[in-house]
Amino acid sequence: VHIGQWHNALSYDEETHFRSLEYLRARGNNPEPFMLVASYHHPHEPFHAPHEYWDLYEDAEIEIPEFPDDLDETYSMMDRCLNAYHGTRRYNLRDPDGLRKLRRAYYGLVTYMDRKVGELLDTLEQTGLADNTVVVFASDHGDMLCEKEMVQKRCFYEWSCRVPLIARFPDGWQAGTVCDTPVSLIDLLPTFCEIAGTEAALPHDGESLIGILDNPPQNRIAFAQAHEAVGMPCIMARQGSYKYNYIHSHEDQLFDLVADPGEWNNLIADSTHDETAVRLRQAILQRFDPETM
């Protein structure tokens, strides 16, 4: 972990934030519909936390990963390919001091982002736009942060693929509601289209979240794919508490996230879960053709 100097004036996120605020202020109470995507880089590696945010966590208790003795035996072929791609063996990812610094910087960047989002919301209020604007906060991926001695993204573990998705409607619709139904970022397009009262111009695989919030389905399956750096087509199917990871031509994975939130116990060879494994594998192969991917 290297702690260096960074100037906010040169930051992509500062420029994005400035332009977003200026756009909202320029609109004022303009009744014309608009869509603003304020896309920030943080918190993303390299974790360059501004010093004021780094300093916030100087005395914080920072939890670091625990590594079982048989860690290497728990890796799937997908994991092994990713670790080779990221060159994890070149570094000591178990160093407690380095791990704390890594997460301290990450926490600082999360706080940085929290304040930026707060300033956006304040500007919506100040301009009067908050009374007629839907706000959605989401992220494209997480980060392993050295859990399982892995880094970055590109895998299906919760640290990597589970992301925040928070919506605020101007009339307070569904305020405080927590929906546990698995959904995907591809569901945002049809959601925005339904809110705007229009149809998407191109075909898509998503489903509007409006109906899901009204009546959460019990058996919905959310899919994800990974191809870059993993050496073979890899596809995830998430239904309820179960996650099935299809790894083409290699042993798959099945996890029960309620009983095993850390995703350590692969149930794929456990005959008591055969029905679940077959159902989710079939759902994947009905939707995707790994031979042509």
pLDDT, tens only, 235-276: 999 999 999 999 999 999 999 999 999 999 999 999 999 999
Percent of the chain at pLDDT above 90? Answer: 87
Q: Is 172 exposed, middle or buried, given 0-12, 13-18 or 19+ CB atoms closer than 10 A?
A: exposed
What is the mean predicted confidence (pLDDT) over 198-204? 92
Give Cβ neighbours of residue 86 (< 8 Å, ≥ 6 apart).
Answer: 150, 151, 152, 229
Work out the average pLDDT over 136-160: 96
Residue 218: per-residue pLDDT: 86
Q: What ranges do the domains of the chain cover?
A: 8-179, 220-293
Per residue in 31-90, pLDDT tens? 899 999 999 999 999 998 999 999 999 999 999 999 999 999 999 999 999 999 999 999
Mean pLDDT of 80-103: 95
The answer to whether domain 220-293 has CATH 3.30.70.20 is: no
Name the pTM for this structure. 0.91
230 — pLDDT class (breaks 50, 70, 90): confident
- 287 has a pLDDT exceeding 90: yes
Q: Residue 141 — left, alpha, or beta (φ > 0 → left; ψ -120 to 50 → alpha)? A: beta
* pLDDT over 70, % of the chain: 97
pLDDT of residue 30: 85
State in words which class domain 8-179 has: alpha beta
